[in-house]
Amino acid sequence: MITKFTHNSVYVLDQDRAREFYVDTLGFELRNDVVMADGFEKGAGKGFRWLTVSPPGQPEVEFILADCRMGHSPENSDQIRALVAKGAMGLGVLATDDCHKTFRELSERGVVFLSEPADRPYGIEATFRDDSGNVYSLTEAREPAH
């Protein structure tokens, strides 16, 4: 039986820049930054960097900031890189207690938003892209109706 969700891969264009963006700009917590031994990557003698971060106070969920080459052929990794850069690899949702305040704080830290906070049926939402192009919804959930 599956008991919980622990890791999710987020393809990034540059792992050093991604680490800086997620940790220094978004305030995520660094969990792992190690180079895995040979045999974990296609082709002899390669290996890869295992870089994971978590939202503050949520260590049970880790974002794997994955190099687009990890586990992929050169042709596929080029296609993945192009899709990431265009923002076409999916949408993540990050929760906040105060969307307007978090929007101001992240804007001051250099995050470029695609949309300002706006009322939606599910709450208040603003959207932004990370330094690689991945799109996120920053959402303050609406209180459930009683």
Architecture of the domain spanning 90-146: Roll (3.10)
Residues with Cβ within 8 Å of residue 39, at least 6 apart in sequence: 47
Q: What sign does the dihedral 58-87-80-27 (CA atoms) show? A: negative
Helix residue spans in the chain (DSSP H): 15-19, 74-86, 99-108
Segment 93-120, tens digit of pLDDT = 999 999 999 999 999 999 999 999 999 9
**Domain residue spans in the chain?**
1-86, 90-146
CATH of domain 1-86: 3.10.180.10
Question: Could you tell me the pLDDT band of residue 128, with boundaries at 50, 70 and 90?
Answer: very high
